[in-house]
């Protein structure tokens, strides 16, 4: 492999079609932010759209529901149209609503229909804990024992999943499958299309948690015939801390009654009739529960306008180049110092690089004190996520140079090898 130099990355940045979008974000001059897979940075457009919604509240009061710049009553549906492009779905199959775990509960309550001989939920042992908590709760609500009815596919190496193992566990007693699109620790991208086909061969509904893939890579949920999906919008989509999430329901399921009914899932024209008969929208909009959180939704307006211009295919292309450069620099500057535990194949890698090291927690602290913002995942994983919209190739080059200095000078040894309260 040829030596990667400052000139190499300067040329990459000069030819970067997305370079101008970095100016859209509040990026610190004295720091390199590589934690966009936990929380994306604030863009100036997201800030402005939040101010716009605040101003509508100030100027119109309750009339902001139907008036102002962004009428609140239909804002979730309007944003769903833009968000549907990121997940490869029809407009009516997507809605902006809730949070990751609330949307999980809504969808599992709808699609988990245990019958005699088919009562189990299939998940995996590497998924984000909140998903497991939600599944355990849903089993208990149905009077089932999570100890026996929640089946979790084992990992051979504690980092990735073998899809053959997942398919092997799609047995006749499985009533529902829920998996992550990208594993949050290792960054492994599962083959959603293949897993969906195999589940449907066995007549099992299947859904995916897209938290670590939406905004980083394209999806084709409708084409792949996925039954349902849900996600947060505060990572790669940059909607802000606690930003409102989203969900997808395949249109073939629009006749189903949502498992958790709430007034904002009513048909718009009858919602304010205040009838005690729930008349659900025949779209993903029917899966809304309560009144939308407007101030947590507003930043998404500005953020999605950036995605409209940047295009998710170009974002994915640059993301893969950034993570590939990061790995090549690690091999060049720090050969054998870290184990790169994310998939090396572009087709199987999400938006971040995962490094394993026994001193991972203290290395992360040293990085932060040197102006690099990483992410730590217990017990020994450092996640580095160069985000295509606001990270440059030079950012990656500088970050690895600083990491190399930290390791060669053993600067990390002055820190306790223990995570902070928030890793």
Q: Encode pLDDT of 252-265 as tens digits.
A: 999 999 999 999 99
Evaluate if residue 133 carries a pLDDT over 90: yes
Evaluate if residue 350 carries a pLDDT over 80: yes
Evaluate if residue 420 carries a pLDDT over 90: no
Domain with CATH 3.90.1150.10 in the chain: 6-30+311-407
Residue ranges with strand state E in 187-287: 206-209, 228-231, 246-249
Mean pLDDT throughout 127-133? 97
On whether 270 is known to bind a ligand per the annotation, the reply is no
E strand or H helix that includes residue 338: none
Evaluate if residue 349 carries a pLDDT over 70: yes
Confidence of residue 1 (pLDDT cuts 50, 70, 90): low
User: For residue 422, what pLDDT is reported?
Assistant: 74
| Residue 190: partners with Cβ closer than 8 Å, 6 or more residues away | 161, 163, 179, 180, 181, 182, 183, 208
Cα–Cα distance measured from residue 94 to residue 86, given in angstroms and rounded to the nearest whole number: 10
Mean pLDDT throughout 377-406? 97
Confidence of residue 421 (pLDDT cuts 50, 70, 90): confident
Mean pLDDT throughout 326-350? 97
Going by the DSSP 8-state scheme, the letter that residue 234 receives in this structure is S
| Interaxial angle between packed helices 294-310 and 312-333, expressed in degrees from 0 to 180 and rounded to the nearest 10 | 80
Cβ(177)–Cβ(171) under 8 Å? no
On whether 129 is known to bind a ligand per the annotation, the reply is yes
CATH domain 6-30+311-407 topology: 3.90.1150
Domain with CATH 3.40.640.10 in the chain: 49-309
On whether 72 is known to bind a ligand per the annotation, the reply is no
CA angle 358, 378, 177 (to 5 degrees): 130
On the 0-12 / 13-18 / 19+ scale of CB atoms within 10 A, 384 is buried
Mean pLDDT throughout 138-165? 98
| Interaxial angle between packed helices 393-408 and 6-14, expressed in degrees from 0 to 180 and rounded to the nearest 10 | 160
| Interaxial angle between packed helices 75-87 and 294-310, expressed in degrees from 0 to 180 and rounded to the nearest 10 | 40
Going by the DSSP 8-state scheme, the letter that residue 39 receives in this structure is S
On whether 263 is known to bind a ligand per the annotation, the reply is yes
On whether 277 is known to bind a ligand per the annotation, the reply is no
On whether 412 is known to bind a ligand per the annotation, the reply is no
Mean pLDDT throughout 331-356? 97
Cα–Cα distance measured from residue 329 to residue 408, given in angstroms and rounded to the nearest whole number: 15
E strand or H helix that includes residue 330: helix 312-333
Cα–Cα distance measured from residue 306 to residue 285, given in angstroms and rounded to the nearest whole number: 24
Going by the DSSP 8-state scheme, the letter that residue 6 receives in this structure is H
| Interaxial angle between packed helices 294-310 and 44-60, expressed in degrees from 0 to 180 and rounded to the nearest 10 | 140
pTM of the model: 0.97
Share of the chain above pLDDT 90, in %: 96
Where do we find the tokens 């160069």? 386
Look at residues 243, 105, 235, 260 and name the one whose alpha carbon lies nearest to residue 181: 235
Task: State how far the alpha carbon of 91 is from the alpha carbons of 50, 84, 107, 165, 298, in Å.
Answer: 23, 6, 18, 34, 19
User: For residue 156, what pLDDT is reported?
Assistant: 97
On whether 209 is known to bind a ligand per the annotation, the reply is yes
pLDDT digits (tens, 9 = 90+) for 182-231: 999 999 999 999 999 999 999 999 999 999 999 999 999 999 999 999 99
On whether 352 is known to bind a ligand per the annotation, the reply is no
The β-bridge relationship of strands 339-340 and 381-384 is: unpaired
User: For residue 260, what pLDDT is reported?
Assistant: 97
On whether 186 is known to bind a ligand per the annotation, the reply is no
Evaluate if residue 173 carries a pLDDT over 90: yes
Evaluate if residue 44 carries a pLDDT over 80: yes
CA angle 23, 26, 31 (to 5 degrees): 105
* CATH top class, domain 49-309: alpha beta
User: For residue 2, what pLDDT is reported?
Assistant: 77
pLDDT digits (tens, 9 = 90+) for 8-27: 999 999 999 999 999 999 99
């Amino acid at each position: 492999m040829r030596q990667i130099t400052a000139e190499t990355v300067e040329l990459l940045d000069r030819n970067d079609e997305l370079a101008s979008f970095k100016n859209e974000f509040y990026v610190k001059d004295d720091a390199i932010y590589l934690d966009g897979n936990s929380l994306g940075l604030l863009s100036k457009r997201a800030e402005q759209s939040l101010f716009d919604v605040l101003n509508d509240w100030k100027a119109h009061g309750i009339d902001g529901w139907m008036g102002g710049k962004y009428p609140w009553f239909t804002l979730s549906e309007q944003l769903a149209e833009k968000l549907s492009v990121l997940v490869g779905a029809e407009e009516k199959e997507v809605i902006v609503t809730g949070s990751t775990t609330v949307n999980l509960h809504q969808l599992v309550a709808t699609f988990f229909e245990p019958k005699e001989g088919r009562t189990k939920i299939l998940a995996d042992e590497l998924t984000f804990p909140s998903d497991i908590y939600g599944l355990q709760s849903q089993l208990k609500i149905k009077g089932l024992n999570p100890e026996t009815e929640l089946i979790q596919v084992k990992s051979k190496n504690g980092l990735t999943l073998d899809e053959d193992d997942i398919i092997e566990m799609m047995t006749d007693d499985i009533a529902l499958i829920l998996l992550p699109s990208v594993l949050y620790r290792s960054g492994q991208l599962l083959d959603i299309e293949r897993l969906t086909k195999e589940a449907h061969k066995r007549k099992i509904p299947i859904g995916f948690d897209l938290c670590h893939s939406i905004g980083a890579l394209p999806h084709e949920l409708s084409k792949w015939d996925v039954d349902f999906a849900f996600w947060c919008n505060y990572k790669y989509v940059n909607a802000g801390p606690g930003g409102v999430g989203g969900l997808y329901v395949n249109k073939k399921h629009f006749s189903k009654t949502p498992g958790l009914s709430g007034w904002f899932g009513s048909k718009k024209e009858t919602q304010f009739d205040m009838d005690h008969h729930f008349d659900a929208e025949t779209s993903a909009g029917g899966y809304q529960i309560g009144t939308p959180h407007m101030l947590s939704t507003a930043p998404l307006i500005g953020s999605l306008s950036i995605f409209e211009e940047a295009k998710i295919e170009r974002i994915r292309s640059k993301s893969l180049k950034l993570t590939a450069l990061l790995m090549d620099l690690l091999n060049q500057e720090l050969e054998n110092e870290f184990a790169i535990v994310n998939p090396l194949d572009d087709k199987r890698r999400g938006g971040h690089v995962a490094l394993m090291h026994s001193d991972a927690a203290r290395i992360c602290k040293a990085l932060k004190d040197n102006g690099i913002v990483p992410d730590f995942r217990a017990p020994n994983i450092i996640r580095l996520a160069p985000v295509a919209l606001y990270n440059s190739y030079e950012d990656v080059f500088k970050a690895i140079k600083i990491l190399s200095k930290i390791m060669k000078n053993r600067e990390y040894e002055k820190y306790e090898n223990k995570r902070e309260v928030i890793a």
